[in-house]
Structure 1
Amino acid sequence: MSVKNEKRKIHEKESTRQFIGTKEITDYSLITEHGELVYYIVKPTNISVLSEASVGARVYALMTVLKGVAEIEMMCVNSRESFEDNKRFLRSRMEQEDNPVIRKLLEKDQTHLDRIQIQMATAREFFILIRLKEEKESDVFPYLSRIEKSLKEQGFSVKRANKEDVKRILAVYYEQNVTTERFEDFDGERWIIPDDF
């Protein structure tokens, strides 16, 4: 068996959490193999309506926060589903399809996906991440509160992500799924019937 096949078999046996490198989702963080991450959801400012001076002030405010908290990491993700894989599949099927009626239906499907994606094109979410190192448990919440206060003092509208927010962030990032009403704590949770054991 080749090394590539062995790696594939190992990945097939891994749970989703093992595969993406997470250990636990707490009430306020995501514990990974590379440390504990705390997410702050940042409400974006529409800078297209601000003056040049106001935009400069926003940039300076962000710079002030970054200088004050060296542990900050930033992340921007789509907050809506991506249909690129679906559209690629439809294009491939259209090229292979001999039946003109089926080809026409596939074209209509692709046009529909294009319209949906255009409507959601500007949907982005911004996050500030704090990677907790070796802080004592008693120091974590005061430390996180200081960071949140610093962000708010600089004019940013932020909220520390809770457990449901973190699960939603992961679902959007890994699955491009924003339509699930309830995010599962473990794979297949929605299919378990409690009295069935």
Structure 2
Amino acid sequence: MPMADLPREPGPAARNASFRRTRTAARATMVRRSLSFVRLVSLLSLLVLSGCVYGPENNDWVDWSRLTFRGFAENPAATIEIQAYNQRTGVWNVVTTATSTSSPTTFGGQQLYSWSLTNFDFFASVPDAACYWSSHVFCAIPGGFASAKFRFKEQGSALAHLVTFDDGGVACVIDQVDDGEDWFAAGSSCSSDDSPVLTLRVLT
């Protein structure tokens, strides 16, 4: 076979051109994936922050005979499940419900529907109530203080649970909305690290 017909290694210029094409394609792929991730996060934020619990805030001190919860739902006349964690069984149970209003409230550019439950007597209403406030094998309430964990679910919503806030989180949302942020951005920035779980404490 003549030497001219033998396959040859590409020269430096060809190798550099091939490398540049590969690098450009890789960067384009990374950019597309990055944009897809940003869009995904944005969509998740819209879902996650459609509803919330704005009172009480995480680790607040409360009276378990007069519990009051307030928040916003994404739909009118929606049933809000108030769930509590049974420390003896390790199971989340619906202990009561609330219903959102039919008339919307516009907040931070979003239409939301308020809901509330007032003066809920936990011990008078929930079987084995002490087991939600005590990790003791016999559900004995500890001296000093006790705590229970709650979370909130809007029935019929794609949202797993409503967002909760730490101390100062609600004020943070209000300040950011007053400064021009929409509800989604403000809620995302100010939500609790423990969300959707809300821990409440009582003196015993």
TM-score (norm 1): 0.28
- The structure carrying a bigger strand percent of its residues is 2
Higher relative helix content: 1
Answer with 1 or 2: which has the greater Rg.
2
Higher RCO, 1 or 2 (CA under 8 Å, sep at least 6)?
1
